[in-house]
Copies of this chain bind each other. A is one copy, B any other.
Amino acid sequence: MTMTIKEIASLTGVSVATVSNIINNKGRVGEDTRARVEKVIREHHYRPNSVAKNLKTKTSRSIGVIAEDMTVFVMPEIIDGITECCEENDYQILLVNLRLYKKYSDTYYKTNHHRERVKAEIQKLISMQVDGIIYVAAHERVNDVIPKNLPIPVVMAYSFSNRGEVPSIVVNDQGGAEKITEYLLSKKHEKIGVIAGKKESIHTLSRLEGYQRALLRHQIFYDPDLVVYGDWDRQSGHDAMENLMKKSPTAIFAMNDVMAGGVYDWLKEHEMTPGKDVAVVGYDDQVMSAYENPPLTTVGLPLRDIGYKAGEEIIGMLSSGDTYKAESRIDVDCRLCERESVFDYRG
């Protein structure tokens, strides 16, 4: 069907070794033969069979990407980042889509069934000779699905691995919250109500810390009554406002865009306009936040950067072998998405 190196060799009257050397610019080759061989290669559109090459070299320049669920909003950007990095370094991607949300609803990470599945997929990838694996989680959490003692490096994106040899690439959530609080502060808002996420969430915790740090830096007293907990839903954002507004904050920091939408709802119901009577900011930079009225100022998750960094990390581990000292955890900074839901407060 397609050509082999042997055919090229006989076509040009040289040995396969020479052809191989020419293809990979190795060894000493005469200018004339090189030219002759390259010409034939070009004319016949010859491409080395990489399967044979991989078998011989025991490397595939490919990395396995295991995505917990393709359809969760964080995935495309993360994978885009991974592919960008891999493209730059000439690595291929073998994609595995676990489809966890579809299969086990959203409690999958509590079941054991899926651990077995991950283990099996990793084995399969290893048998395909991938050089390394990136596991991409659908949401941040402590994630211990990666089996121990794997013969190839693994990095975890968007979750915390609980082991040092598996580096974690995660969002600098505290930094993000600090950044947006700083922003509010810079607009002279000092009484900032916060609608937090679920109490047990890792995000809620770090974002709260970030909020507090910003206040601290500006020597503003932290008032616990100014924070109300929601459950990430729009409705809960709406409902939280009832209590929150009793303290008459001039700005609201909702810990995700969806709840910020609920804040908009409440405000409009009460004849107030967001970004004018009360400043409101969200978190995540979900698509709809740009379509809200007014467009929501929020903090953008560094999704693509996480993917890119994950790629860098694994390729780093690969290219320098043991000498490469992987960070066990990398926090990637968020960016501020300034839109129109915040005004300058003049007390």
| Residues on B with beta carbons closer than 8 Å to the beta carbon of A71 | 76-77, 80
A93 to chain B, nearest CB (A): 5
Q: Is there contact, CB below 8 Å, between A83 and B99?
A: yes
Distance, CA A191 to CA B62, complexed state (A): 57
Bound form: Cα–Cα A70–B86 in Å: 14
Q: Which of B51, B80, B83 contacts A55 (CB 8 A)?
A: B51
Distance A94 CA – B261 CA, assembled complex (angstroms): 39
For A84, what are the chain B residues with a Cβ–Cβ distance below 8 Å? 97, 99
Q: What residues of B have a CB within 8 angstroms of the CB of A54 in the complex?
A: 51
Question: Contact: A2 with B126, CB < 8 Å?
Answer: yes
- Report the Cα distance A336→B62, complex, angstroms: 41
Q: Which of A27-35, A42-50, A205-213 forms contacts with chain B?
A: A42-50
Number of copies: 2
User: Are B92 and A128 touching (Cβ within 8 A)?
Assistant: yes
- Alpha-carbon distance A71/B81, docked complex (angstroms): 10
1/0 contact string of A280-315 vs chain B (CB within 8 Å): 000000011001010000000000000000000000
Q: Which of B75, B129, B291 contacts A288 (CB 8 A)?
A: B291
Q: Which residues of B contact A288 (CB under 8 A)?
A: 287-288, 291
Top-10 shortest CB links A-B = A83-B97, A95-B95, A47-B127, A288-B288, A70-B80, A93-B95, A51-B129, A51-B55, A50-B127, A51-B54
Which residues of A come within 8 Å of B, CB atoms?
1-2, 45, 47-52, 54-55, 60, 62, 65, 70-71, 75-77, 79-80, 83-84, 87, 92-97, 99, 102, 123-124, 126-129, 151, 234, 261, 265, 287-288, 291, 293
